[in-house]
Structure 1
Amino acid sequence: MRQSKPFAVMMKDIYTVREFCEVHSEEKKVLESSERPIVILDKKPSLNLPNNISPNLKSIGVMLPFSPISRLMLQKDLDVLIITKSSNIELKNETAFKNLKNIADYFLIHNREISVPLKTPVVYLINHSKCVLNQSLSSPKKALNNSFSDNFIEIIYGKENTEYSKNFLGGEFFIKTNKEFKMAAHFQYVTLQGKPSPLSSAISYLHFFKYNPDSFIANTGITTNALEKNSNSCLSSIDHFFDCISSLLDIVHTNTYAGEAAQALESIADATTKDYYKYRIKNENSAFVIDIKNILRGVLIDILIKKEKSMIATKFHNTIYHITCQMALILSKLYGINKIILSGTTFQNKRLLEDVSKGLKKENLRVYFNSKPYLDNTEILL
């Protein structure tokens, strides 16, 4: 079941897009490029589309027609189509007819079968650079040239499919030099219960730092008991920290799609404050550890004094930004490295990626993230 997972939309032309969304010149160029990606755009307040296309989000994925058939479908009075790919459900026409007959009114088919289903790139613009979202699980190094045969710092926030990252959790800073490769820093690990949801992550963080979960969350018993027995436990990544804060703010308690709680948290982080929560960086066993206890404490205090959720969400994002830039700068000076790679699912957060990228560049560091899809639509369309 799709539930809250956002859809993308295909709009007739750039004029239609501008009726519904904020479109800057660079975004227009990407929309009209030969790749024809889905571009994440800010909704206009007057957006006259059903809210459940992208619920709880201030942005929407938009693409322009990319083939003759899509242009034909958007002729006359039809300006917008909701996009969902049947190739994600059925690859064969016959099975689509059989399994989707009670859902679809019509089928538009091709006389060639789908051999290899390919994803349309999903992108947004960061400081005039394109960031490809649906390939962010792969390291940006794969899309870069031989300049990465030398030294670099890689910051992995969330999942990332590389050989070495399988042994780590997603909140780490890695150093690669000609002489060594090692983890140089990481966010403090927290014991979680089972396969964490945003709600169970919140309970786990509260329990780990000796707060009474019942003071902030209802019905915590099963998770708390399991944590006390150390039953089916695992360690946290930074993704879980975002989930925890989202649940504590009563935004999302259960993800109906990957990253839902974090996206909803980002979507309300629109306060203008520059404030951030206190944190501490410690040196333990030849690695820096980012102590998050005071961050959680600050969030809980703000909740108790009933500060606006948008203010708390903004301060939390500002905190992660400050930590990331400070830690990267410490490692850059310590190891004499000026190349920084940002990878992992948490850097799908546009606000965080934009702020971190801008902050590191101010320190004259070279910043890299996924900016090129491996395939574009021109390679697969007839």
Structure 2
Amino acid sequence: MTVFITVFGIVQGVGYRPFVAAQAKELGVKGWVRNSGGIVEITASGGQAEVEAFVRRLHEQRPEGAQVLRVEVKPLPEERFDSFRIDLSGKYTDHTEAPVLPPDIPMCESCKKELYDPKDRRYHYPFISCASCGPRYSIMNTLPYDRGTTTMRDFVMCSACEKEYQAGRRCHAQTISCHDCGPQLILRDQGMTWEKEEAFSKAVALLRNGGVLALKGVGGYQFVCSPEQETAVERLRLLKAREKKPFAVMFPSMESIRAYCSVSKEEEELLKSTARPIVLLRITKQAFCPQVSGESRFLGAFLPCTGLHQMLTDTLGPLVVTSGNFTTEPMIYKDEDMLKVNSPFLSGVLYHTRRILSPLDDSVARVFAGKTQIIRRSRGYVPLPIMLAPRPKKPVLAMGGDLKSSFCLYKGDRAYVSQYFGDMENFQISRNYRNGLKHMERLLRIEPLAVACDLHPGYHTTALGEELAAKITSAGALKFQHHHAHAASVMAEHHLDGCIGVVFDGTGYGTDETVWGGEFLLCKGKDFVRRAHLRSVPLCGGDAVAKNAVLAADCYRSAAGESWGSPRYEMVRAALKHRINTQDSSSVGRLFDAVSALLGIRENNGYEGECAIALENAAAAAKAAGKGPSALGIPLLEKEGGEIELDQVDLVSQILQKARAGGDRERIAFGFHVALSDVVLAVCRKIRAEDGEKRVALSGGVFGNLLLLEQCYAKLTEDGFDVYLNSAVPCNDGGICLGQAWLAAMVQEENSK
């Protein structure tokens, strides 16, 4: 009996061919296995019972790191083979579905044991890997995944590695290397160069002495220093020009994390997952210097993903490990660019010469209600697809937004969301986005025939989407309202055909050409109706109002009819009166900024969301101290046509009144959060009563606020609503490309009827 077998899924770069060969030899099956494009092809021959048992094993078993989506079996004319062999990769044939590629995989336990075994020939080799672990997507140039199609092609294997490549744990391990071949550790410091063990020892000494190192990680450079030395952390902040935003800390083990943070079962699973993300954990012990996490209640903690990270943290203990970029700039991933950095705050560069083709920041996630919520989707998750229900008639490219930019390629039932890039206003970030798009299109062999983008006419992603769409179709780009795409991203993840989309964020272009950001959308398929929103408030200053919370507060004071404000209040009132650089806004994000400034908690966003985070921290402090929330409410105003306005101006007047009366600002901050969650419940009840919809999707960057999310989630579920959240993509703008792609598929589906 001879059959031809095709295996779909993550079956390249995970030791799948050696696994297949081992199963075949154990069962006495002859034939061959090979990579082809993004799949694995097998010809198996033998007795009927043996071949059927072999196929069953392919369905039921897999090596670590592999994910089998489907196994197809077709009979062939009888053919005899002398043995079972691993063949050279075949040429790509045009399969109708896009491949599933492996993300970068952290060092496995077997490699970790070898790393610390003095008798092993890879003892203390920082770039140890095997068929089950090591860099994958970041070094992949094209398919199939072979050494020659990755940047490992730059390194010739030594005779010992050549032998291991033929059998054992490193059989056909494309990243195989050792002390004698492959990438080696190099340290550059003040014109001096050290290599291998000496480079590691010198790097350890620099970090112990309060230095800051640039370290080449899996997807790009990272800046590293001791979290216990104030001068080191201060040097790092000066190097990055990052005044206050908290840093992540890498720990050598779970035990060391538990010494500083509380860790639930789900959080431990997330920390130890193959994605190895930074996980936001509640701080239980303040042992690091204050500059590491500042006022944050949470610490971004993660575990090592390479031998080098493991060796450094085992030697030195926890380390601050943060993206190797300068504020507003993308992460550096090319050696020549990092080696050109000339700063008195950078002590040295610890690197190797294996090229990175796809720059990938560390991913960030948290656990809420027992489930993972991705905050930044990058290394460890990309390029894994998100499986969706609708299948677009034509492959879709969705452009996403300008802040926290990412794109999505959608073909068949698979949506491939790119890594996080950053703010498209930056030229280098825009170039990385374009290069990343070309690379992923080539790697996945997806040629988009439809383009979706944001409605905002000033977005760089919109302009690029229109440019690309013009080359593809005369119909042009499909444009979707920003907050509708947020809600649709949740609908896509959870296979919903309708919901009440509660979308709170900083800004989004509305269909009425005003700034939206406090939205209640009744969504049905590809369509939505704006059922309720915050009452619009005129804001002046353009983009400056997103950073200057005092300016936002003055605008709200003016809307509330206040006669006093900041020293620039009269100028602000005049600008508002004459509509100079003024836009109407229903943004919850700007409301948070204004309240934070009105209460004297924080007056400027030195980094995105700083004022809102400070307001949340004040509210959380009141709750932790057992203080009750101040009594605040948001009146609902019925408009013609049934649309509801949430009177945020009245809320601001209440807050000002309590502040003037000497109210506890932490209690007022807590009351503000309670009032928002109360009004979310009240509006959803109204919509449910009128339309019967009881599914609620919470999305938008404001729901990064854990206190607000907890309150909304609890109140809605207790009232009988089914509440859905983003999980596989961020609730911030990093997830809207998925919503755009899903909406484009829904439009195609309707147009085909």
Q: Distance in 2 between matches of 1:345 and 1:70?
A: 31
Mapped contact 1:190–1:208 kept (Cα < 8 A)? yes
Q: Distance in 2 between matches of 1:179 and 1:51?
A: 48
Mapped contact 2:508–2:516 kept (Cα < 8 A)? no
Question: Number of aligned pairs?
Answer: 371
Secondary structure at the residue paired with 2:259? helix
Which residue of 2 is the match for residue 378 of structure 1?
none
Mapped contact 2:713–2:723 kept (Cα < 8 A)? yes
Residue type of the alignment partner of 2:501: E
Q: Distance in 1 between matches of 2:720 and 2:608?
A: 34
Shift of 1:23: 2.2
Task: Please point out which of 266, 279, 292 is paired with 2:634.
Answer: 279
Q: Distance in 1 between matches of 2:360 and 2:509?
A: 21
Shift of 1:335: 1.2
Task: Please point out which of 604, 614, 621 is paired with 1:254.
Answer: 604
Q: Distance in 2 between matches of 1:218 and 1:146?
A: 48
Q: Is 2:467 the counterpart of 1:116?
A: no
Task: Please point out which of 360, 370, 375 is paired with 1:128.
Answer: 370
Q: Distance in 2 between matches of 1:122 and 1:166?
A: 33
Q: Distance in 1 between matches of 2:512 and 2:350?
A: 42
Which residue of 1 is the match for residue 299 of structure 2?
60
Assess, with a 3 A threshold, how the Cα gap between structure 1 residues 344 and 180 changes in structure 2: closer, same or farther.
closer
Mapped contact 1:340–1:365 kept (Cα < 8 A)? yes
**How does 1:83-122 map onto structure 2 within 5 Å?**
83-86=321-324, 88-122=330-364
Residue type of the alignment partner of 1:213: W
**How does 1:2-17 map onto structure 2 within 5 Å?**
2-17=242-257
Q: Is 2:560 the counterpart of 1:209?
A: yes
Shift of 1:144: 5.8
Which residue of 1 is the match for residue 572 of structure 2?
223
Mapped contact 2:717–2:723 kept (Cα < 8 A)? yes
Which residue of 1 is the match for residue 95 of structure 2?
none
Shift of 1:177: 2.2
Task: Please point out which of 707, 715, 720 is paired with 1:359.
Answer: 715
Q: Distance in 1 between matches of 2:526 and 2:243?
A: 49
Q: Could you say which structure has the greater relative contact order, defined with CA pairs below 8 angstroms and 6 or more residues apart?
A: 1
Q: Distance in 2 between matches of 1:69 and 1:165?
A: 53
Shift of 1:134: 2.9
Mapped contact 1:21–1:41 kept (Cα < 8 A)? yes
Larger Rg: 2
Larger mean Cα displacement after TM superposition, 104-113 or 199-208: 104-113
Which residue of 2 is the match for residue 263 of structure 1?
613
Identity of aligned residues (%): 25
Which residue of 2 is the match for residue 322 of structure 1?
678
Where do 5+ consecutive residues of structure 1 fail to align?
376-382
Task: Please point out which of 654, 659, 670 is paired with 1:298.
Answer: 654
Shift of 1:180: 4.9
Larger mean Cα displacement after TM superposition, 19-28 or 232-241: 19-28
Which residue of 1 is the match for residue 273 of structure 2?
33
Residue type of the alignment partner of 1:351: L
Secondary structure at the residue paired with 2:646? strand
Which residue of 1 is the match for residue 750 of structure 2?
none
Secondary structure at the residue paired with 1:158? strand
Which residue of 1 is the match for residue 167 of structure 2?
none
Mapped contact 1:139–1:370 kept (Cα < 8 A)? no
Deviation per CA, 1:256-305: give whole Å up to 9, x if none. 11100001110111223255412211111321111123311221122112
Where do 5+ consecutive residues of structure 2 fail to align?
1-240, 378-403, 406-484, 735-753
Assess, with a 3 A threshold, how the Cα gap between structure 1 residues 361 and 91 changes in structure 2: closer, same or farther.
same
Q: Distance in 2 between matches of 1:163 and 1:201?
A: 20
Q: Distance in 2 between matches of 1:144 and 1:230?
A: 38
Mapped contact 2:491–2:498 kept (Cα < 8 A)? no
Deviation per CA, 1:206-234: give whole Å up to 9, x if none. 011101233xx444343233223321112
Assess, with a 3 A threshold, how the Cα gap between structure 1 residues 292 and 175 changes in structure 2: closer, same or farther.
same
Secondary structure at the residue paired with 2:350? coil
Larger mean Cα displacement after TM superposition, 141-150 or 286-295: 141-150
Shift of 1:121: 2.5
Shift of 1:83: 1.8
Which residue of 2 is the match for residue 188 of structure 1?
535
TM-score (norm 2): 0.46
Mapped contact 2:509–2:516 kept (Cα < 8 A)? no
Deviation per CA, 1:10-60: give whole Å up to 9, x if none. 11212211221222232222222222111112222x411121222222222
Superposition CA RMSD, Å: 2.6
Residue type of the alignment partner of 1:93: D
Assess, with a 3 A threshold, how the Cα gap between structure 1 residues 82 and 206 changes in structure 2: closer, same or farther.
same
Assess, with a 3 A threshold, how the Cα gap between structure 1 residues 172 and 14 changes in structure 2: closer, same or farther.
same
